[in-house]
Structure formats: structure tokens, C-alpha cells
């Protein structure tokens, strides 16, 4: 578990370094609950708080496209996360990270599919 978190921090540090060299676009996004996140690469994911965390954890094994094409309720996403851990070998997430990812997925990748990839 600590390994996953360390990896994320290393990635953030790397992004910060690259940004200092002015080669990496980095933006800070805020949602209507006032939560913020620094975004540097989320692929096709909708750039809102939780996107970077989701991208960093979930693209270790597969494209984020597999996520963006899904539309699920919070319960549905919860089950997918359990499935990733139990059957696919994903490491357990810290509770606060898990909540952030679940909030993100349930909001922007709900059954209404507001951010279904366009191509």
C-alpha cells in the first residue's frame, strides 16, 4: 500500500520537475465542492478533481479508455473496484483515495455517460 502512494508521490515530483523545465502542461482543477487536484496527464479522462488519482492507479494495467467507456452508479463502480482488487491483482487503495476515485467515477462516468469518449 505504501508503495502505491510512494509511486504516486514520485510521479507528482517528476511532473513538478518537468514543469520547472516548462515542458509539461499542468493545471489545477476545482469542483463545486471546493476540492482541487493538480492534473498533468489524464489521457481521455474528464479533467476534474479525482481524474489524476484515477488515471495513476487505473492505467497501471489497462488504458483509461476502458474506464471512460463505462457508465456506472457508485455501487457499480464500487463493485468494479472490489473486482479489480480480488480478481485482477490491483493493490488495495487507501480509504481516502478510494473515496475520491469512487466520487470521481460516479460523478463523471455515471449511467448517463456525460463524458463518453467521442472517437
Binding of residue 81 to ligand HEC (CB under 6 A)? yes
90 binds ligand HEC per the rule CB under 6 A: yes
C-alpha distances in Å from residue 115, one per residue of 64, 71, 85, 98:
12, 9, 25, 21
- Supply the minimum distance, in Å, between the C-beta of residue 88 and ligand HEC: 4
Q: Which 7-66 residues touch ligand HEC, going by CB under 6 A? A: 57-58, 60-62, 66
Task: Kindly report the backbone phi and psi dihedral angles of residue 25, in degrees, each rounded to the nearest multiple of 5, phi listed first.
Answer: -75, 130
DSSP assignment of 37-62 equals EEES--TTS--STTHHHHHHHHTTTS
Q: Is residue 6 a contact residue for ligand HEC (CB under 6 A)?
A: no
Closer to ligand HEC by CB, 9 or 92: give it.
92
Among 67, 68, 100, 106, binds ligand HEC (CB under 6 A): 67
Amino acid at each position: 500500500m505504501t508503495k502505491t502512494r510512494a509511486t504516486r508521490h514520485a510521479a507528482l515530483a517528476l511532473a513538478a520537475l518537468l514543469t520547472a523545465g516548462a515542458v509539461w502542461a499542468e493545471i489545477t482543477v476545482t469542483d463545486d465542492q471546493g476540492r482541487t487536484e493538480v492534473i498533468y496527464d489524464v489521457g481521455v479522462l474528464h479533467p476534474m478533481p479525482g481524474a489524476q488519482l484515477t488515471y495513476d492507479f487505473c492505467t497501471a494495467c489497462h488504458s483509461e479508455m476502458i474506464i471512460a467507456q463505462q457508465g456506472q452508479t457508485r455501487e457499480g463502480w464500487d463493485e468494479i473496484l472490489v473486482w479489480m482488487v480480488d480478481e485482477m491483482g490491483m493493490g488495495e487503495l487507501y480509504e481516502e483515495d478510494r473515496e475520491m476515485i469512487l466520487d470521481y467515477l460516479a460523478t463523471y462516468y455515471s449511467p448517463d455517460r456525460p463524458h463518453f469518449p467521442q472517437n
